[in-house]
Each structure stands twice: as C-alpha cells, then as structure tokens.
Chain A
C-alpha cells in the first residue's frame, strides 16, 4: 500500500471561555512509509491527536492527511476501512459482552451470512490464541486479554494500517510483553504511541512529539535518547519551524 502523508497539518480546538483556540498540533508534515512507527512524548504533547488524524477521528484545521492517497476528511469511510484503531482502554472499545460477539460485530458489515461470520470470528480468535476466552464476559478478562481481544476485533476486518494509542499503558509487565510479541508478528503497518520506551525499541522509525510539534524524527535509539534529554530538561535545541518537514535521523535545528 501507499504511505501516510501529513501535509502542513495544524489542529486547533475551541476552548470554553477563551477567545483563542488551543493549538494541539502545529504545522506537521510527515511522510510515513515504514512498517513500524513509534510516537513518544509527554502527556498532552499531541501524540493522541496525531494518531487520531490517521483514522479521521480528528480533522485537521489546516493541511491534509492522506492514507494510501485517500483523504481522511473527504474519504473518511475508505480511510477507516484501511486504518484500524486500538484505544488505550479496551473496555471502552469492546462494545459487546464477550470477545466472540465483539469480533463478530466487526464482521457484520462485511460478512452477511451468520454461519460464515461465526466461523470467520472463530478463525480470528484462534489466530491470537483467544478462543478459550471467546465466551467469557469482557469484564472477567485480564487487562492484557482485553487488550488482545480489542486488537483481534480491529484486525478481524484486516486493515492495512494499525494505529495503537498507548496500548500498553494499563498493562502489567507480562501482558505488555504478550502485546509486544503480538504486535511484532503482525503483517500490518503499525503506528503506535506509547510511554513504554522498551516497546519503542522495536520500531523502525520514532517521532518525538512535544508541545504539538515533532521535535525529533529518526531511529528508535536516537529518539529515546532525545526524549530522555528532553524530559530531563536538557536543552536539546530542537524546535521545528511551523510547516517544516522534519528531516529523518536528526533533530531540526532551531
């Protein structure tokens, strides 16, 4: 498939009681073609907004976002068929009482025959080793099992791109490792935001987001180092000019 292209994207939202809108992302231009892309940054830095742009959950105030040539505003339904989105809290994502039913729900639009749909759902659950948990209430599953179930429900419709918004935040070490291995085995292009710097090490390319701007774009190790320096308060001299494209592998000079 083609790439994900953000062209001069700014996102602003109105804030009650303030005359000026708040800028969540400011002049981001990126061309994302790698198979594994990580996004790291502090809380409120704009990571989630950046990810939500890719599925059309957030519309840019300025600029455009395209996935495989499809504009996320003009062709939002086509984009959503290509881009699956996994949220931080699987409980808000799993709509049905059990995992099996939720995976079947994902397939309702594409598979009309209920028998075929049931078989297809079973195959998906089996692929992720979730079949024994298929009929358990989602409330009885552990955090990791729930997250894997949410992942299976999204992957049931075989999106080309998988966007994960801090999927490991609510998980313990064991479940985090389980999730990491599952993600590593996926054929989809993955774009994932996380606070888990170990998870980021598996990524081909990592973006560091700070105050609505991409302040670093490059390899995982260098990105993590940059992020550590940033959070430690060491001046990194790395701001991005508005609307500028960040060169890969190095922070942009101020």
Chain B
C-alpha cells in the first residue's frame, strides 16, 4: 500500500507537561473543543483557541512536521468548505467554521500524540464501565475505537493505490473506477481484520466471566 494519510498523530514518547497531564483532563480538552465549535461565534476567538492548541502541540515536543501532517489531509476539504461558506454566509462565518474544525483536529492530535494507545484504551474502558449494566463490554468498546483509528490510514492508503491504478489506466475521472475498488478492498480488509482478531481471541468476553470457563461444553464462536 503506497499512501496512508492520517488525521491523527501517533504517540510521540516524551515527558512534557502535556504527556504527564491526567487523561481525564486531555479528554476534557478534546470534548471542550468539540463543544466549543458549536458555541464560539467569533472567528477571532476560534483563531485564538487554535493558536493555543498549536502552542500546546509544539510544547509537547511532537514538532511542526507532525502538526502539519495532522492537518494536511483535510486542507483541501477545508478550502472547499471555506469558499462555499464565504460565498453563502460571508468571510467571518467561513473563517470561524474552518478554524473550529482545525481546533478539533489539533486537539484530537494533541491527545493521541501525548498519550500511549494502551492508556487511551484503559481510559475508554474506564469510561465505558458504567455501561456494563446495559450489557456493554468495555474492552470490546475500546477495541472498536482502536480499530477505527487504525483503519482510517488503511482506507486512505487503499484510496491512494486505487487512484494510482485508475490514473495508469486513464480512468481517473471515472468515479466507479475509484469508489468500487476502494469499497471492495475495505470490505476484504474488514473481513481479514475480523479473522485476525478472532484468531488472537481479541474482543471476546473475559475468561473469568465467560461460560466457557465452566468446561468444554460451550459452543465455539467463529
């Protein structure tokens, strides 16, 4: 696979203040930025928050290159959104919307850049524990999020490969030649990932609360 553009940054080991900050605080910042994007109505405030998020990102030691890599994939989309909103609602609104989206992306990248994935999963498991009474499995919930995060670059890479193939055949303007192969590749990938998870016994209920532990009478899951 040739390409793998990714919105979120992988964990960058470090000992900065942000690395050492409690997970709940980082979660709160991400949620706050998400909520704030609905509440902030002034583009100047949005720009100030974006500046703050970028400063925190750089303070963590993750670097300018990673910051750029985090926002680069969405820049064309933001440009299109910005131009459309400018045309429809004017410059200040367009700037606010674009800046708020950037704030969310940088905040989420700050979280993933300064928190090891296992700690993130532990946090998600802790958050999901109250839902256990409704039948939810916190570990499975966390695994689902991990797979979702990990699948985005694969799909982006699949798209890049298919686009190159379509170009080679002179079909780059044919939507079917782009969409269908990506769809098929993604479904095949999902099936392979499912098989791999099953083979590793991941996502299954814990041993200590599963009937299989009682003996060899449980029907195998596939």
Q: Is A117 an interface position by the 8 A CB rule?
A: yes
Binds A, one of B24-32, B77-85, B170-178, B197-205: B197-205
Query: Which chain B residues border A78 with CB–CB below 8 Å?
Result: 212, 216
Q: Which residue of B202, B210, B217 is within 8 Å of A105 (Cβ)? A: B202
A101 and B118 in contact, given A74-B218, A92-B189 (Cβ under 8 angstroms) = yes
List B residues 170-222 near A (Cβ within 8 Å): 189, 192-193, 195-202, 204, 206-207, 210, 212, 216-222
CA distance A58 to B1 in the complex (A): 28
Neighbouring A residues of B48 by C-beta, 8 Å: none
Q: If A71-B216, A76-B220 touch, does A57 touch B195 (CB 8 Å cutoff)? A: yes
B20 at the interface (CB under 8 A from A): no
Which residues from B are CB-within-8-Å of A81? 201
A74 to B216: give the CA distance in the assembly, Å.
6
* A114 to B125 Cα, complex, angstroms: 13
Q: Which residues of A contact B212 (CB under 8 A)?
A: 75-78
Pairwise interchain contact B219-A87, C-beta atoms closer than 8 A: no
Q: Is the interface of A mostly helix, strand, loop or mixed?
A: mixed
Chain A residues within an 8 Å CB radius of B222: 56-59, 76
One digit per residue, 1 when the CB lies within 8 angstroms of any chain B CB and 0 when it does not, for chain A 91-115 equals 1110111100100111011000010
B10-54 interface with A by 8 A CB criterion = 10-11, 13
Closest to A150 in B: B196
Chain B positions 103-146 with a Cβ under 8 Å from a chain A Cβ? 116-119, 121-122, 139, 143, 146
Query: Among B56-64, B93-101, B148-156, which stretch is in contact with chain A?
Result: B148-156
Of the residues B149, B157, B199, contact of A139 by C-beta under 8 Å:
B157
B4 touches which one: A85, A139, A153 (CB < 8 A)?
A: A139
On whether the beta carbons of A97 and B150 are closer than 8 Å, the reply is yes
Residues of A within 8 Å of B75, CB to CB, are none
Q: How far is the CA of A118 from the CA of B195 in the complex (A)?
A: 26
From A75, A106, A114, A137, B10 is in contact (CB under 8 Å) with A137
Q: Bound complex: CA of A72 vs CA of B199, how far in Å?
A: 12
How big is the A interface, by class? Answer: 35 or more
Name the CB-closest residue of A to B221.
A76
Is B219 a contact of A74 with CB atoms below 8 Å?
yes
Say whether A154 faces chain B, with CB atoms less than 8 Å apart. yes
Asked if A195 CB lies within 8 Å of chain B CBs, one says: no
Residues of chain A with a CB closer than 8 A to B121's CB: 105, 108
From residue 34 to 60 of chain A, which have CB atoms closer than 8 A to chain B? 55-59
CB nearest to A101 among chain B residues: B117
Q: Which of B1, B118, B139 contacts A114 (CB 8 A)?
A: B118
In the complex where A78-B216, A105-B146, A106-B200 touch, is A96 in contact with B119 (Cβ < 8 A)? no
Does A32 count as interface, using CB distance less than 8 angstroms? no
User: Which residues of chain B are within 8 angstroms of A180 by Cβ–Cβ distance?
Assistant: none
Q: Which B residues are within 8 Å of any A CB, using their own CB?
A: 1, 4, 10-11, 13, 116-119, 121-122, 139, 143, 146-147, 149-150, 153-154, 157, 189, 192-193, 195-202, 204, 206-207, 210, 212, 216-222
8 contacts across the A-B interface (CB closer than 8 A): A56-B220, A56-B222, A72-B220, A74-B216, A106-B200, A114-B118, A135-B10, A137-B4
User: 8 extra interchain contacts, Cβ-Cβ under 8 A, other than A109-B202, A139-B153?
Assistant: A55-B199, A74-B218, A76-B222, A91-B154, A95-B193, A101-B117, A105-B143, A118-B118
